[in-house]
Structure formats: structure tokens, C-alpha cells
Chains A and B, each alone.
Chain A
């Protein structure tokens, strides 16, 4: 069974600052992917970033980057230059036959 753990239920950051959201996972798969999804108040699920487990290089998408530590089974998300529009629930997920989600971190970006 795959499990994904997000230990921070809520976080807050000021606009333009940097914030890191934590995620750990457990899987027996050899080839897997890890994801961060964003769910703003509109409820739409939006893919933020994706990491292929066999790639050592950390994925980056504009202001979003990950710190992937395969041996530690850690997959944290760093948001740089936070913007008000980043306020949302953030879900870490691992891929199996379907996505296995963590319980989410509610991020509030304040002016």
C-alpha cells in the first residue's frame, strides 16, 4: 500500500516570501511519480509540479520547485515569491494505479 503524509495542516506566508510545504511518502513501487496539486477555493484541482522518481534532478516550474530526497522518501514543495493567488489547499500525491493523496496543507498568502 502507498501512503502519503503531509504533516502541516495549515501554513501562512507573506506575499513575496518563500514557503516550503512538506511531504513524505511510502511506496514499494520501483517506477513511480510524485505530484503536487493545488486546489484553490474554486475547487478545481490543478497540477503544480511532477517529479519522476528515477530522475535525480529536482523538478522546477517557474516559482515552484521540489526537493526530492528519494532515500528519505521526502518530496517537499518550495514556493518562491509567494503571490496572493497561491492561496489554496496543496496536495502531495504519489502514483500507483491511481493517485494516492496526502491530507493536504492549507496555505494562506497574506499581503
Chain B
């Protein structure tokens, strides 16, 4: 009965490869997010989707492409992986548009991506 799940939890790959991280939430939330946590533990928003529509696209290389097939899923595809992409990627979800009343975000367990 995991609320927000991510697969895989660990991903080790070579530079130049393409990889995907999947995220699913069973909370019935309308909004989903991807955050990146770097080696210094700093967390930064990458993308936000509301009902399958892109809301936020921070300054992220276009090698990163989120895809939301339905409002319960938000996957992250990364092309041509680089060393600097190594990080922990967190998926999260919330009831409505971020910043609205009661907008607690529920986080997945994170995916540790290591690019060699």
C-alpha cells in the first residue's frame, strides 16, 4: 500500500546511455513532481505536472524529459547520461497545484542514479 513508489531504487549506468525512472502514486493526487538531490544533499525542483499537464519546468537540460501517461504516473527519461547527472531523484505528489492550501507533498523513496 505504498503511497508514492519509484522504480528502480538504484540505477548504475555508463555515460551516454539513456535511462528511465518510473513513479506512481496511489493517493489520488492531481499534482506530481520530480526533485533532484545532489551530492551535497541540496534538493531542487525539476518538473511539476498537474493532471498530466506540465506546470513547472525549471532550468533542466532538455536531455531530461518527463512523461505523464495519466495523473497517477510521472516518469522521467534521461538521454545521453553525463557524470553530473549522478544524484538521488525524488518523485512527489500533492493534492493540488503547489502552494495551495493544505498542499503537503508526499515523497517517494528516491532513486539513486550513478553514472560511471
Contact = CB atoms under 8 A, between A and B. Distances in A.
A13 B18 CA distance: 44
Contacts, number: 59
A29 interface: yes
Given A45-B90, A103-B40, A103-B42, A97 B107 contact: no
Which of under 10, 10 to 19, 20 to 34, or 35 or more describes the interface residues of A? 20 to 34
A47 interface: yes
A85 to B, nearest CB: 18
A44 B34 CA distance: 14
A95 B103 contact: yes
Given A43-B88, A43-B110, A97 B42 contact: no
For the side of the interface on B, what is the size category? Answer: 20 to 34
B90 A104 contact: no
B109 A97 contact: no
Contact of B98 (A31, A50, A89, A98): A98
